[in-house]
């Protein structure tokens, strides 16, 4: 068990070192921060979406921006799109699960808003559909994915593709990046 613990920690450290030395990745994070700051200054909304653990991460990051990260400040208009379970189950039943986020974005999204979409594979149908819809509506799209970027690679304005295929390690880095974004935006 001790080796398993040490191995998991070492994998996390290795991934952090990889992104730390990837200046293109760092530049993308800076660009994402700039886009979010501009959107918030223009009174635009920041939307988050994901499935499973990525939904939990999406909700976590929305809460950091809506509440506070470190500083006392006005709340930023942020929303994790999966929090209305009645809506999610109704649309899944009446339309399809692939439409749950896209339909909500069509109701709420405006040009200049931001969608941060989390999918470790980059291939989750409802997340891909949300990014496509956000692009159609004029939202700024940020994809948080794993190594390949999947289908989100070609459709996200900004792609933060963690250089790994290991879902838990990818999610850990997504939260790290999200926290960095929250800290710098604040």
List of domains in the chain: 2-185 (3.40.50.10490)
The band of 75, judged by pLDDT with boundaries at 50, 70 and 90, is very high
What is the pTM assigned to this prediction?
A: 0.96
DSSP the chain: -HHHHHHHHHHHHHHHHHHHT-HHHHHHHHHHHHHHHHHHHTT--EEEE-STHHHHHHHHHHHHHHS-SSS--PPP-EEETT--HHHHHHHHHHT-GGGHHHHHHHHH--TT-EEEEE-SSS--HHHHHHHHHHHHHT-EEEEEE-TT-GGGTTT-SEEEE-S-S-HHHHHHHHHHHHHHHHHHH-
Task: Quote the pLDDT of residue 143.
Answer: 99
Task: List pLDDT tens digits, range 137-151.
Answer: 999 999 999 999 999
Task: Quote the pLDDT of residue 39.
Answer: 99
Express as a percent the part of the chain with pLDDT over 70: 100
Q: What is the mean pLDDT of the chain?
A: 98
Task: List pLDDT tens digits, range 20-46.
Answer: 999 999 999 999 999 999 999 999 999
Task: Quote the pLDDT of residue 11.
Answer: 96
Q: What does the pLDDT average to over 121-134?
A: 99
Task: Quote the pLDDT of residue 142.
Answer: 99
Task: Quote the pLDDT of residue 112.
Answer: 98
The band of 95, judged by pLDDT with boundaries at 50, 70 and 90, is very high
Distance CA 57, CA 173 (A): 11
Tokens linked to 48: 């988050």
List, in order, residues 6 or more apart from 25 with CB less than 8 Å away. Answer: 19, 160
How far are the Cα atoms of 4, 54, 71 from residue 119, in angstroms, in the given order? 25, 6, 29
Task: List pLDDT tens digits, range 59-69.
Answer: 999 999 999 99
């Amino acid at each position: 068990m001790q080796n398993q613990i040490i191995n998991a920690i070492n994998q996390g450290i290795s991934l952090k070192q990889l992104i730390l030395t990837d200046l293109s990745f760092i530049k993308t994070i800076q660009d994402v921060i700039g886009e979010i700051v501009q959107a918030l200054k223009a009174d635009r909304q920041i939307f988050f979406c994901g499935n499973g653990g990525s939904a939990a991460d999406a909700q976590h990051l929305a809460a950091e921006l809506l509440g506070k990260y470190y500083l006392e400040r006005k709340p930023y208009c942020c929303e994790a799109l999966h929090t209305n379970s009645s809506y999610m189950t109704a649309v899944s039943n009446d339309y399809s699960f692939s439409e749950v986020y896209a339909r909500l974005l069509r109701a709420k999204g405006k040009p200049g808003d931001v969608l941060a979409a989390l999918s470790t594979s980059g291939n989750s149908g409802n997340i891909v559909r949300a990014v496509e819809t956000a692009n159609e509506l004029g939202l700024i799209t940020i994809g948080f994915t794993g190594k390949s970027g999947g289908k989100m690679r070609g459709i996200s304005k900004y792609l933060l593709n963690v250089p790994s295929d290991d879902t838990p390690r990818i999610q850990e880095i997504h939260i790290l990046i999200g926290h960095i974004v929250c800290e710098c935006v604040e």
